[in-house]
Amino acid sequence: MQVLVLYCCSFDIRKSTGLFCRLLHILAFHEHYDARTVFIIFAILITCGIEKFCYMELQEPLSMLAAEYESGSPILLEKIKVLDQQYAAIRRTRGDGNCFFRSFMFSYLEHILESQDRAEVDRIKGNVEECRKTLQSLGHTDFTFEDFFSLFLEQLECVLQGNEDSISQDELILRSRDQSISDYGEWFGWLVVMFFRFVTSGEIRKRSEFFEPFILGLTNATVEQQLFPYAFLTVLQVVYCDNVYNIEQFRSTFCKSSVEPMGEESDHVHITALSDALGVPIRVVYLDRSSCDIGGVSVNHHDFLPTSGDKSNAKGGSTVPVKPFITLLYRPGHYDILYPK
């Protein structure tokens, strides 16, 4: 612990964001450090000068998005006009590689707060319990992920009105901003991302045969192929300089190199896995320079609908796909939240 504290105080986080994310990943998944220890280390990093930033911005009209492309591609400007006809607002998220998970979390909590759908809360709690069992079956000990799961369940209770700790829409927004505004900022900023990365990783590993073809197309690696990023070795050599570790212990699967580390970007594999694990449909709208249909400009979207048995939030046991209540805007490498009209 002393070595970690000294190391955390010895470098400028503002110039080492990637290394910082890798360090958090090592702490989170190392058997000797539980969630509270990781949070303590993160607090130390904060005091050492990490920049303040908003994890979630306030809603703004689509015209603000168009202003970014005034001197850019005419195709993008035309597509934003199409979006403006269908969507009332956009909520931006910090572009740090964790934007998909953070956007999903905020949008889901916002939906529950507005709908007060207690049946949906009960359903997703059951799925969270199944995710916990999945991680246990994959060899994770409870203390490595239990606090992250508990934090998510606590937030679900908070957005349901009538409880002692119930919060309003304004409070939810405040909690999502940054640490200088609310002590809950760190929860939205890092801890919640760890929770969803655990869930996504567990789903991919549990259904490795299903996901392997998609992963092959992305990385030429199998789910179980052993990968070990050089950045991990660099951090380990510094942090554990007084200890001898067998590198074989840190050989990682695709999940440990591309899903679990903080700051790793998400694609269709991550979205599919999270949607299936939690039973929540997600719509992703794509803003890119792809060609348009003959006769006019169109914006493509894809609905990720849960396919894992009875996990879906379909009403009354119906097999008819449920229209996603979470809509994300994807621009290459980044996700924001869209609000339909």
Q: Which residue numbers are catalytic?
A: 96, 99, 301, 334
Residue 333: count of CB within 10 angstroms of its CB: 11
- From residue 272, give the alpha-carbon distance in Å to each of 52, 72, 191, 202: 32, 32, 21, 12
Q: Which amino acid is at 122?
A: D
What is the maximum alpha-carbon separation in the chain? Answer: 67
Nearest to 225 by CA among 198, 254, 204: 254
Name all contacts of 182-185 with Cβ < 8 Å and 24+ positions apart. Answer: 185/55
Q: Do β-strands 56-60 and 326-331 pair in parallel, antiparallel, or remain unpaired?
A: unpaired
Helix ranges, 160-267 (H): 169-175, 185-186, 192-206, 208-219, 230-239, 254-258
Distance of CA 97 to the CA centre of its chain: 9
